[in-house]
Each structure stands twice: as C-alpha cells, then as structure tokens.
Amino acid sequence: MTDFVLKRMVALVLPFVQMLGLYVIFHGHLSPGGSFSGGIITGLSLIAFSLVFGLERGHEKISERLMGLIESFGALWYGAMGLVGVLRGTTFLMNKGAGVPLGEPGRLFSGGLILLITLGVGLKVASTMVTLFNALMEEEE
C-alpha cells in the first residue's frame, strides 16, 4: 500500500495501541480485560503494521522465528507458574496457599502469580494472532 495518509496515521496511532494492549495485559487482575483481550490488541497492532507497510517490513520488525519462540515461551511460562504451587508442596496453580506474597489489593504489583501468568498468556495470544495472520497472508502468495 502506498497511501501516505494511511501510513502517517498508522505510525501515529500504533504506539498508543500497543501501550493500551500492554496496559490491559498488566491490569488483568485489577480491571476488565486481561491477558486475552490485551494480547489481541497488542497482536493487532503488529498485524496493522504488516498490513499497511507490507509483510516484509513486518518480518523485519519481528522475525517469524522469534514469533515462534515467543509463542512457545508464553505457553511454557504458564506451565512453569503452575508448577510453583507443586514445588511448594501444594496443588498445581496454587497462588496464596503456595506462599506467594499477594501484596496490597488494588496496586499494580499484587495478586501474586496472576500478574505473571497473564503476562505469559498475553505474549502467547499476541504472537499467535500474528502467526495466524502471517500464515493466511503467505497462503495467498
């Protein structure tokens, strides 16, 4: 696409979209939204970039290889966080009972493992969205 207005607008808007996505992910345990919606917003920002500036430049920003690694990492991270409870002698995914400090309710760094888990899921969702988009785009060529 060669449209000048579109490119400028996207360049202006994208940082804010990504910021919103990360905000939603990080506040998953405090406010509506969370890892899934935040991950999709973040993923969509990357997709919008690829759509407007072309797939090649999208790959330059984040290579497919890195995307694949992030995708696996997100899922493994969730499993690892779940194992914290098992290693502390309680059940899988146990949070407070496993002795994780919960912090002060309402603060950003509170809720124990939930924040860490949402981070992993957010990364996973965002990278999966981009991978799906890339797969569909490459099919067309």
Partner 1 sequence: MALAFRDNLAVLVVVALLSTAYIMPLLTKIRRFRVAEYFAVAMLGLALSGGIYLAREILLHGTFTYAVGGWPAPWGIELSLDAVSGFFLITIGVVATPIMLYASVDLIKEVGSRSRAAWFLTLFLLLVAALCGLAVTGDLFNIYVMVEVATIASCAIVAARNDATSVEATFKYLMLATIGSGFVLLGIGFLFVLTGNLNMNFIAQELSMSWQKYPTALWVCLSFFMVGFGVKSALFPLHVWLPDAHSTAIAPSSAMLSSLAIKGYIIALLKVFYVAVGAKIITRLPITDILTLLGMVAIIAGALFALAQDELKRRLAFSTISQVGYIFLGIGLGNIHGLTGTFMHILSHATTKALLFLAAGAMIKHTGKSRISEMAGVGAAMPVTVGAFAVGSLSMIGIPLFSGFVSKWQLLLGSLANGNYLAVLVLVGGSLLAAAYLLPVLRMAFFERPLQKPVVANVSYVQLAALLFLVVVIISVGVVPDGVLQLASEAATALLGLEVLP
Shortest separation between residue 97's beta carbon and partner 1, angstroms: 5
> x-or-dash pattern for partner 1, window 91-120, by CB under 8 A?
xxxxx-x-----------------------
Pairwise CA distance, residues 75 & 48, whole Å:
24
- Asked whether the beta carbons of 123 and 21 are under 8 A apart, the reply is no
> x-or-dash pattern for partner 1, window 75-94, by CB under 8 A?
xx--x--xx-xx--xxxxxx
Among residues 39 and 45, whose Cβ is nearest to partner 1?
39
Cα torsion through 50, 23, 41, 69, rounded to 10 = 60
> x-or-dash pattern for partner 1, window 10-49, by CB under 8 A?
----------------------------------------
End-to-end CA distance of the chain: 16
Among residues 51 and 80, whose Cβ is nearest to partner 1?
80
Shortest separation between residue 125's beta carbon and partner 1, angstroms: 14
* Type of residue at 68: G
Classify burial at 35, counting beta carbons within 10 Å of its beta carbon; exposed 0-12, middle 13-18, buried 19 or more.
Answer: buried
- The 10 Å Cβ neighbour count of residue 105 is 9
Residues engaged in binding partner 1 (CB under 8 A): 65, 68-69, 71-73, 75-76, 79, 82-83, 85-86, 89-95, 97
